[in-house]
Amino acid sequence: MSDVAGAPVAEAAPAPIAVITPAADTGADLSISQAARALATARHKPKEPAPVEPKAPVEQPELAQANSDPATDPAEVTKANEPAELPPIEPPRSWTQAEKERFQSLPRETQEYLHTREQEREREFRRGQNEVAEQRKAVEAERQKADEARQQYEAKLPALMQALHDASPFADIKSMADVERMQAEDPFRFQQFQVYQWKMQGVQAELQQAEQRKTTEAQTKWNDHVQAENAKAAELIPELADEEKGAKLRNRVVKEVLHDLGFKESELAELASGKERLSIYDHRIQRLLADSLKLRDIQNAPKAVVKPNLPPVQQPGTARPAGHAASEQIQALTRKLEQSGSLKDAQALRAAQMRRK
């Protein structure tokens, strides 16, 4: 009993069942004290961790595919998994050639950013252009309406002036003496006469302003017409584009052509300022057109290869054949016309040919 009382007391919590390894077989049974010590030793022995089973290695799909097919080339597998090549990004069309070349050398990410920004800028620019165009149309429509209303009002001013004159109750007032007599004898009628005069002066002032406005508009329109026609002429006649050559050519036209056709200096000044108009039926214009046709016929005539018409060799002292001087003159004028192409030379050649006939 003393051995049992000296044994350690068990804990209140249930303890796991321990496997008690009996001592070496001595041929005798264990005593109670030996069994108690063996039980205590088994309870305080540290637990061994449970054995961990090794995990199977996870195989990558690419490696599994490569391992499953020994004939597959790893380089081909890598190339097949790469993304398809993206199409190139075109630089903006408004850029210069140097800017486009610089754009091609940039990374694709930078190209995409610049391309997007340029598209946004172009959209904003076009939107601004459309807004300005719409505003311009609206302003032009309002201006046209205002011009039409002004023209209608100015067209009615002469009729208003005539109506005031016809309805005037002062037909008997024809001189300053009549005005003075009316002021002395009938002051009330004199006041009515003053109001009438103010109305007439107002209408007259508006008529003068309308005429001045018409004159200014006509002059502006004429100047625009002259500039546009001079620009077209400079494209057809390169000499006119040069200031010095153009001035010389215009002077020659005035002296050698226009004066010869019968135009006077005063008449040319009126035509140049737009104050006078020239009809295409003017006899001088018709003559100019006819001479132009003759020159064109000469220029377009086929140049036949002919042997030079040399005079026969003559002994000294013999007379020249009749008509030889005229032939030489015609030949000289022909060579001169081919070199100059002048209308004056063409007229001289034509006159020489007529005299020879």
Q: What is the span of the domain harbouring residue 109? A: 93-168
Q: Are residues 164 and 186 in the same domain?
A: no
- How many domains are contained in the chain? 2
pLDDT for residue 12: 45
pLDDT for residue 312: 59
Q: In whole angstroms, give the CA distance from residue 328 to residue 307.
A: 14
pLDDT for residue 50: 53
Q: In whole angstroms, give the CA distance from residue 91 to residue 103.
A: 6
Q: In whole angstroms, give the CA distance from residue 231 to residue 225.
A: 10
> Residue 340 domain-assigned?
no
Q: Are residues 160 and 185 in the same domain?
A: no
Give the predicted TM-score (pTM) of the model: 0.42
Those residues with Cβ within 8 angstroms of residue 105's Cβ, 6 or more apart along the chain or in another chain: none
Which of 152, 168, 184 delimits the end of a domain? Answer: 168
Tokens of 159: 């009729």
> Residue 200 domain-assigned?
yes
Structure confidence at residue 24 as a pLDDT band (50, 70, 90): very low
Percentage of the residues of the chain whose pLDDT score is greater than 90: 6
pLDDT in tens, 34-86: 766 766 666 655 555 555 555 555 545 444 444 545 445 555 545 555 556 77
In this structure, of 55-59, 133-137, 145-149, 341-345, the range with the lowest mean pLDDT score is 55-59
Those residues with Cβ within 8 angstroms of residue 4's Cβ, 6 or more apart along the chain or in another chain: 32, 36
Max Cα–Cα distance, the chain, nearest Å: 192
Q: What is the 3-state secondary structure (H, E, C) of 141-177?
A: HHHHHHHHHHHHHHHHHHHHHHHHHHCCCCCCCCCHH
In this structure, of 22-31, 231-240, 287-296, the range with the lowest mean pLDDT score is 22-31
Which of 136, 168, 200 delimits the end of a domain? Answer: 168
Chain centroid, CA 156 distance in Å: 44
> Residue 6 domain-assigned?
no
Which of 168, 187, 209 delimits the end of a domain? Answer: 168
> Residue 348 domain-assigned?
no
Q: Are residues 163 and 98 in the same domain?
A: yes
pLDDT in tens, 244-270: 988 999 898 888 888 888 888 888 888
pLDDT for residue 19: 47
Q: Are residues 200 and 216 in the same domain?
A: yes
